[in-house]
């Protein structure tokens, strides 16, 4: 059976040119860095789903347990007619808990990984025949736009998984302000935010025994090699992830095993032995710290849920 979804094209058409320019600029900078949004090609999105199942990676199962417990309350806060909007929908698994509780008429999934997005929203449409399913491919580092049906109807926006943690605090503020401007007064933002905790628990989550996070990190180089005409060899780098307590963030790096020169699109970049490419930040917040940030973007705090071990938080904010 083929199921119809409504697809909205938002992503700049020259996706690959954008990636090439950004990757070249990041490799030319000191220290070298890349944006975590480039992790999510088809293989990267699939690896991320496997990370979510690792015993050390507590955020996914903890957020799911919180949502399972809070879904009824969330549905009441959102009201009976709110369409549901999901930012960074990925495999669209967690949102099923909200769909079951809210039974909205319309759902819009937004994600940067287009083929993955289309697959998962098709599956959603097949499993929820009463639901009008929309999909839009978009990059959250540029201002978002919403289709009229959603922007005007006081939607509930759902931003799960602590994806907000990928932004540094000024970017997170800009993102929340943009969202606040898009959501009419009276609409809600349900957002999952990872909490500051014991450094051993944090570091284990980004250094799983099975090596899936390492493979996810190294896949970025494989993507650069195949999509950007590069000779970079992922095996010449090692995964390194640690908690930077002063900055309240997990940092992921790819460390060069030896001195080497990497070519990308006719440009050469030199790595010293032990030099790193900084590939991701994942910021952690206290409840109060995140509420402060949200307040500066114009959001009020309506409700909050955490788990018994205070690993993860889900905030219901109002616009």
Shortest reach from residue 59's CB to ligand AVJ, in Å: 6
- Count the Cβ atoms, other than its own, within 10 Å of residue 235: 8
Is residue 92 within the footprint of ligand AVJ (CB under 6 A)? no
With helix as H, strand as E and coil as C, how does the chain read? CCCCCEEEECCCCCHHHHHHHHHHHHHHCCCCECCHHHHCCHHHHHHHHHHCCCCCCHHHHHHHHHHHHHHHHHHHHHCCCCCEEEECCCCCCCHHHHHHHHCCCEEEEEECCHHHHHHHHHHHHHHCCCCEEEEEECCCCCCCCCCHHHHCCCCEEEECCCHHHHCCHHHHHHHHHHHHHHCCCCCEEEEEEEECCCHHHHHHHCCCCCCHHHHHHHHHHHHHHHHCCECCCHHHEEEEEEEECCCCEEEEEEEECCCEEEEECCEEEEECCCCEEEEEEEECECHHHHHHHHHHCCCEEEEEEECCCCCEEEEEEEC
Single out the residue of 34, 213, 276, 313 in contact with ligand AVJ (rule: CB under 6 A): 213
Pick between residue 107 and residue 216 the one whose CB is nearest to ligand AVJ. Answer: 216
The binder of ligand AVJ chosen from 34, 62, 89, 166 (CB under 6 A): 166
Q: Quick one: which of 280, 299, 305, 319 contacts ligand AVJ (CB under 6 A)?
A: 280
Q: Which residues pair with 140 in a beta bridge?
A: none
Touching ligand AVJ, residues 290-319 (CB under 6 A): none
State the minimum distance, in angstroms, from the CB of residue 55 to ligand AVJ.
Answer: 14
CB neighbour list of residue 90: distance below 8 Å, 6 or more residues apart = 45, 48, 49, 111, 113, 116, 120, 161
By CB under 6 A, name the one of 44, 83, 155, 161 that touches ligand AVJ. 161
Q: Does 163 bind ligand AVJ (CB under 6 A)?
A: yes
Query: Is residue 45 involved in binding ligand AVJ (CB under 6 A)?
Result: no
Closer CB to ligand AVJ, 35 or 260, in the complex: 35
- Residue of minimal Cβ distance to ligand AVJ: 282
Site size for ligand AVJ (CB under 6 A) = 11
**Contact pattern for ligand AVJ over residues 108 through 147, marking x by CB under 6 A:** ----------------------------------------
Among 140, 206, 237, 299, binds ligand AVJ (CB under 6 A): 206
Least distance (Å) between residue 73 CB and ligand AVJ: 24
Taking CB under 6 A as the binding criterion, the range among 69-77, 102-110, 156-164, 180-188 that sits at the site for ligand AVJ is 156-164
Does residue 165 interact with ligand AVJ by CB under 6 A? yes
Q: Shortest distance, CB of residue 64 to ligand AVJ, whole angstroms?
A: 14
Q: At its nearest, how many Å lie between ligand AVJ and the CB of residue 22?
A: 18
Name the residue with tokens 């319309």.
106
41 in contact with ligand AVJ (CB under 6 A): no
Which residues in this chain contact ligand AVJ in the complex, by CB under 6 A? 51, 59, 161-163, 165-166, 206, 213, 280, 282
């Amino acid at each position: 059976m083929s199921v119809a979804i409504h697809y909205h094209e938002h992503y700049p058409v020259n996706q690959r040119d954008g990636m090439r320019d950004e990757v070249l600029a990041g490799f030319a900078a000191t220290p070298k860095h890349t944006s975590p949004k480039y992790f999510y090609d088809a293989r990267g999105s699939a690896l991320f789903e496997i990370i979510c199942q690792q015993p050390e990676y507590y955020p996914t199962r903890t957020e799911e347990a919180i949502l399972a417990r809070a879904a009824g309350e969330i549905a009441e806060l959102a009201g009976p007619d709110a369409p549901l909007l999901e930012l960074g929908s990925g495999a669209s698994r967690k949102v099923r808990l909200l769909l079951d509780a809210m039974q909205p008429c319309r759902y819009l999934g937004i994600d940067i990984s287009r083929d993955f997005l289309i697959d998962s929203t098709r599956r959603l449409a097949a499993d929820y025949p009463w639901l009008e399913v929309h999909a839009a491919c978009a990059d959250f580092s540029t201002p978002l736009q919403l289709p009229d049906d959603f922007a005007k109807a006081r939607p509930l926006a759902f931003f799960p998984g602590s994806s907000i943690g990928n932004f540094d605090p000024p970017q997170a503020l800009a993102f929340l302000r943009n969202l606040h401007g898009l959501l009419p007064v009276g609409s809600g933002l349900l957002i999952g935010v990872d909490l500051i905790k014991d450094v051993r628990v944090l570091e284990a989550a980004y250094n799983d025994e099975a090596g899936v996070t390492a493979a996810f990190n190294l896949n970025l180089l494989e993507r650069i090699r195949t999509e950007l005409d590069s000779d970079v060899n992922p095996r010449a780098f090692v995964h390194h992830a640690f908690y930077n307590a002063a900055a309240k963030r997990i940092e992921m790096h790819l460390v060069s095993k030896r001195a080497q020169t990497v070519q990308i699109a006719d440009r050469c970049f030199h790595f010293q032995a032990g030099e790193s490419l900084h590939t991701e930040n994942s910021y952690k917040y206290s409840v109060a710290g995140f509420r402060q940030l949200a307040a500066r973007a114009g959001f009020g705090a309506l409700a909050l849920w955490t788990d018994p071990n205070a690993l993860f938080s889900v905030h219901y904010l109002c616009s």
